[in-house]
Amino acid sequence: MIVRSSGTQPIAIEQDVVLARQTTRKLATECGMRLIDLTKLVTAVSELARNTMVYGGGGDMDWQVLDDSTRVGLRLTFRDEGPGIADLKLAMTDGWTSGGGLGLGLTGAKRLVDEFELDTAPGEGTRITITRWT
C-alpha cells in the first residue's frame, strides 16, 4: 500500500472541528469519493473530532491518502492524551451517549466507515483510526 500524501490537523477549539470536516471533505473529493461516502465520512469526522476536543481535551487528526493499486482511501487518526475511555463496552453500546455530541456515539461513527480501530486506556488517552475506501 502506498501513502500518496499525509498531514496533521490540530483539534483544540470548535473552529478546529469545522476545519477537520473541511479538510476531510477536500481530501475525500480529491480521492474521487462518491457523495454518499463522502457525507458518511464527514459525519463520522464530526463526531470523532468533537470527542477529541471535548473528552480528550484536544489532540490531532492525522490524515493519509492511501492507494493499494485497486482503490484509493482516506485514513484518519484522531489522537489525544486525555483521560481515555473508562468503560469501553458502554461507550461502544448503541444508543449510549455521554451528552453534548451529535448523538451518534462511537458505534454510529463505526458504522459510517469501512475500517474502525480504537485504542484507549484510562489515563493514557485515546486513538481512533478510521478508513473509507473509494
- The residue count for the chain: 134
CATH topology of domain 2-133: Heat Shock Protein 90 (3.30.565)
> Which residues are CB-contacts of 22 (< 8 A; sequence separation ≥ 6)?
none
Q: How many Å apart are CA 125 and CA 102, to the nearest integer? A: 21
With contact defined as beta carbons under 8 Å apart, do 73 and 131 qualify?
A: yes
Q: pTM of the prediction?
A: 0.91
Given a contact cutoff of 8 angstroms between Cβ atoms, the answer to whether 81 and 27 are in contact is: no
How high is the pLDDT of residue 88?
80
- Beta carbons within 10 angstroms of residue 11's beta carbon: 25
pLDDT at 91: 76
Over residues 2-40, the pLDDT tens digits come to: 989 999 999 999 999 999 999 999 999 999 999 999 999
Domain-wise residue ranges, the chain: 2-133
